[in-house]
């Protein structure tokens, strides 16, 4: 999806791409629900949960699409790996969770990694700086979305969650039409359609993954997207990640894995204590 967005470039407004993606998503999800006889899945009573997940996810998507057009794919991917760090901070601020030395170590490690990766972009003028900040914004709001997604995964079906998310970002993206959307060329129209299709199926698969597996199992697999980002960036845009990315990205990934390993370890301790009790 991000490859299609980058191929479209800054000349195609993010709102136009996101609206098309939402339109395709709603149509595909409604068709899936109808063909499988599961139209009842489109009903929900958890409006508050869907609102938080959908609004934060929409903001994250706008930031992500903006970042992709400004800085290399590998850089965007590496910076968005900071989501687990933001999750930790959000849990401390809003849920009152205590952060022990493992998580403080992870946060410090990840912070250093982010500084290393963003540093070179600060010398590339406004475009590089804004692109890096947009990628960080995407990671932050994605962390909020993931928090609400994990809370809903047990009670809400993946199709339900994805459907209301798609409806939300389609409506909000439509509001940007007042700024004027250019008529896409046939090639641009194809890329917009592909971005929509890749987006909806990627979203469905991600939602299903959180339904059937713990975050500690999913996260290490998500980090393989760095390999794909480097490969696609090189093949399509001749982008070669700078040394700062090769140094900073492993630090951020290590920080995320430390946080997830600690969460998994604590859950096992609580489960063992409950079993003994």
Q: CB-based contacts of 245: which residues, under 8 Å, 6+ apart? A: 74, 75, 78, 117
Residues of the chain with pLDDT under 50: none
Q: How far apart are CA 152 and CA 230, in angstroms?
A: 33
Give the tens place of pLDDT for each residue, 115-163.
888 777 665 556 668 888 899 999 999 988 887 777 776 677 778 888 8
Q: How far apart are CA 249 and CA 104, in angstroms?
A: 18
Query: What pLDDT sits at residue 127?
Result: 66
Give the count of domains, the chain: 1
74 near 230, Cβ under 8 Å?
A: yes
Query: What pLDDT sits at residue 154?
Result: 63
Residue 168: how many other CB atoms lie within 10 Å: 18
Q: CB-based contacts of 62: which residues, under 8 Å, 6+ apart? A: 14, 15, 18
Query: What pLDDT sits at residue 241?
Result: 85
Pick the closest to residue 248 from 130, 138, 111 (CA basis).
111
65 near 8, Cβ under 8 Å?
A: no
Query: What pLDDT sits at residue 96?
Result: 67
Q: How far apart are CA 110 and CA 131, in angstroms?
A: 19
Backbone angle region of 37, left / alpha / beta, with phi > 0 → left and psi within -120 to 50 → alpha? left
Q: How far apart are CA 137 and CA 148, in angstroms?
A: 17
Residue with tokens 């933001």: 86
Q: Which residues of 43-75 are buried (b: 16+ CB within 10 A; e: fewer)?
A: ebebeebbebbbbbbbbbbbbbbbbbbbbbbbb
Q: C-alpha angle with apex 175: 191 to 162, nearest 5 degrees?
A: 60
Q: How far apart are CA 216 and CA 263, in angstroms?
A: 8
- Domain containing residue 263: 2-276
Q: How far apart are CA 263 and CA 266, in angstroms?
A: 5
């Amino acid at each position: 999806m991000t490859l299609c967005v980058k191929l479209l470039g800054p000349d195609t407004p993010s709102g136009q791409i996101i609206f098309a993606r939402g339109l395709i998503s709603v149509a595909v999800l409604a068709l899936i629900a109808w063909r499988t006889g599961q139209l009842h899945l489109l009903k929900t009573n958890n409006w508050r949960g869907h609102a938080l997940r959908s609004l934060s996810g929409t903001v994250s998507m706008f930031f992500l699409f903006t970042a992709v057009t400004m800085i290399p794919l590998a850089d965007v991917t590496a910076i968005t790996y900071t989501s687990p760090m933001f999750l930790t901070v959000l849990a401390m601020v809003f849920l009152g969770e205590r952060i022990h030395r493992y998580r403080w170590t992870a946060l410090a490690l990840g912070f250093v990694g982010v500084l290393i990766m963003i540093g070179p972009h600060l010398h590339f003028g406004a475009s590089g700086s804004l692109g890096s900040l947009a990628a960080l914004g995407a990671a932050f709001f994605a962390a909020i979305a993931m928090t609400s997604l994990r809370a809903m995964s047990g009670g809400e079906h993946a199709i339900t969650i994805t459907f209301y998310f798609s409806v939300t970002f389609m409506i909000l993206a439509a509001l940007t039409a007042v700024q004027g959307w250019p008529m896409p060329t046939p090639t641009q129209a194809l890329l917009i359609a592909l971005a929509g299709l890749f987006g909806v199926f990627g979203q469905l698969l991600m939602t299903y993954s959180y339904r059937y597996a713990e975050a500690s199992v999913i996260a290490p697999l998500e980090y393989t997207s760095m390999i794909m980002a480097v490969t696609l960036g090189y093949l399509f845009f001749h982008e070669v990640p700078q040394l700062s990315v090769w140094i900073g990205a492993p630090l951020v990934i290590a920080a995320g894995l430390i946080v997830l390993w600690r969460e998994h370890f604590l859950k096992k301790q609580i489960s063992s204590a409950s079993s003994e009790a």
